[in-house]
């Protein structure tokens, strides 16, 4: 048996909780295949280094035969070297007294330097998934400064929003999650996000029933949206810790779609250039996408209704404002 060449997977915020939920699943071979060895480049800030050393000990003690080499570093120029995949979990953590401007201000320089590092040392074909919030604008910063990396290679995770919608529909309809298709979110990963189920359907055998025939309009535009927006806070309240396992799972789902393809629409925060929905260029915006041969395409043939158009506009305004603030702060 010839062994595959190792790929390199870089993860920032690797000492955090999402990383802890993510890395063991990656190492089991679930994402890249049980015959695909890899180098694992773990990146975090200085106070995380001891935690990373402990994590590496645990990975060793898990006897993951796919791990070729592991490094722990604070330096993105070392960590992103030759990366085939970069998962950017790290971001400046939100605290209660922070305005959005504060948060954007703290994150902009982080993603500026990471963009530069990716540009300089990662493979030009690197696939980058940004997860740290405010994720859309963080991903946009990354595209701006990663000059050598095609913008299409850098996406923001909005899959958890989609997964949460499907989870909610599954409970509402008392059907398995796998029967619910083509539900997705538009726009920003924020309270403004809009879940669109006007193209969604329930698949049973070969029978497709539009979701709009199964749930009331009032619920779609009311409780459904609200529950989705508040889901993260609800989990935090119950667990006493924010979502980690489900976030890690959404990253795996998103990368599986991107790498292996998907026929149905999935939510991905992607560069808005050349979209058919009047979203201005140069934003990272959650669109319904399909994937094939390692590339994504924005769904072309959808007809958002008037309410949806209004929500797209609201998200555009919010993201244009985030972009303005972030780039202004970077000028200083």
Which residues are known catalytic residues?
Answer: 189
Nearer to its own copies, 64 or 194 (CB): 64
CA-closest candidate to residue 170, choices 160, 186, 183: 183
| Residue 173: exposure state from Cβ atoms within 10 A (0-12, 13-18, ≥19) | middle
Q: Which stretch binds its own copies (CB under 8 A): 24-32, 79-87, 141-149, 188-196?
A: 24-32
Distance between CA atoms of 31 and 21, rounded to whole angstroms? 13
Nearer to its own copies, 55 or 117 (CB): 55
Using CB under 8 A as the binding rule, whether residue 99 contacts its own copies is answered as no
Minimum distance, C-beta of residue 191 to its own copies, in the bound complex (Å): 17
| Binding to its own copies, residues 181-240 (CB under 8 A) | 231, 234-240
Whole-angstrom CA distances from 107 to 84, 131, 270 are 24, 12, 19
Minimum distance, C-beta of residue 253 to its own copies, in the bound complex (Å): 7
| Binding to its own copies, residues 240-259 (CB under 8 A) | 240, 243-246, 248-250, 253
- Annotate 284-312 with DSSP letters as a single string: EEEEEEEEETTEEEE--S----HHHHHHH
Using CB under 8 A as the binding rule, whether residue 65 contacts its own copies is answered as yes
3-state class percentages of the chain: helix first, strand second, coil last, to nearest 5: 45, 20, 35
How far separated are the first and last CA of the chain, in Å rounded? 56
Minimum distance, C-beta of residue 10 to its own copies, in the bound complex (Å): 19
Contacts with its own copies, residue ranges (CB under 8 A): 20-21, 23-25, 28, 30, 50-51, 53-55, 57-65, 160, 163-164, 166-167, 170-171, 176-178, 231, 234-240, 243-246, 248-250, 253
């Amino acid at each position: 048996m010839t062994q595959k060449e190792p790929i390199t997977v870089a993860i920032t915020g690797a000492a955090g909780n999402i990383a802890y939920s993510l890395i063991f699943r990656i190492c089991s071979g679930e994402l890249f295949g049980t015959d695909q060895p890899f180098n694992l480049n773990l990146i975090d800030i200085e106070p995380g280094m001891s935690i990373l050393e402990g994590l590496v000990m645990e990975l060793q003690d898990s006897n993951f035969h796919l791990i070729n080499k592991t490094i722990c570093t604070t330096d993105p120029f070392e960590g992103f070297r030759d990366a085939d995949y970069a998962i950017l979990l790290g971001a400046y953590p939100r605290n209660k007294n922070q305005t959005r401007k504060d948060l954007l201000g703290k994150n902009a320089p982080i993603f500026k330097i990471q963009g530069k590092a990716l540009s300089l040392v990662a493979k030009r074909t690197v696939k980058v998934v940004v997860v740290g919030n405010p994720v859309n604008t963080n991903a946009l910063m990354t595209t701006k400064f990663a000059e050598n990396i095609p913008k299409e290679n850098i996406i923001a995770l909005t899959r958890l929003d989609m997964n949460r919608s499907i989870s909610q529909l599954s409970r509402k309809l008392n059907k398995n999650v796998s029967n619910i298709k083509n539900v997705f979110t538009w726009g920003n990963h924020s309270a403004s996000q809009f879940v669109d189920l006007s193209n969604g359907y329930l698949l049973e055998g070969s029978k497709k029933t539009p979701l709009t025939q199964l749930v009331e309009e009032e619920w779609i535009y009311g409780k459904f949206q609200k529950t989705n927006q508040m889901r993260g806070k609800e989990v935090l309240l119950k667990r006493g810790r924010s979502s980690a396992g489900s976030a890690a799972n959404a990253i795996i789902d998103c990368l599986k779609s991107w790498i292996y393809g998907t026929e149905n629409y999935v939510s991905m925060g992607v560069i808005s250039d050349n979209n058919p929905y009047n979203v201005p260029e140069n934003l990272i915006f959650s669109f319904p996408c399909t994937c094939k041969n390692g590339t994504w395409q924005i769904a072309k043939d959808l007809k958002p209704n008037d309410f949806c158009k209004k929500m797209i506009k609201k998200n555009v305004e919010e993201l244009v404002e985030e972009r303005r603030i972030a780039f202004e702060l970077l000028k200083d």
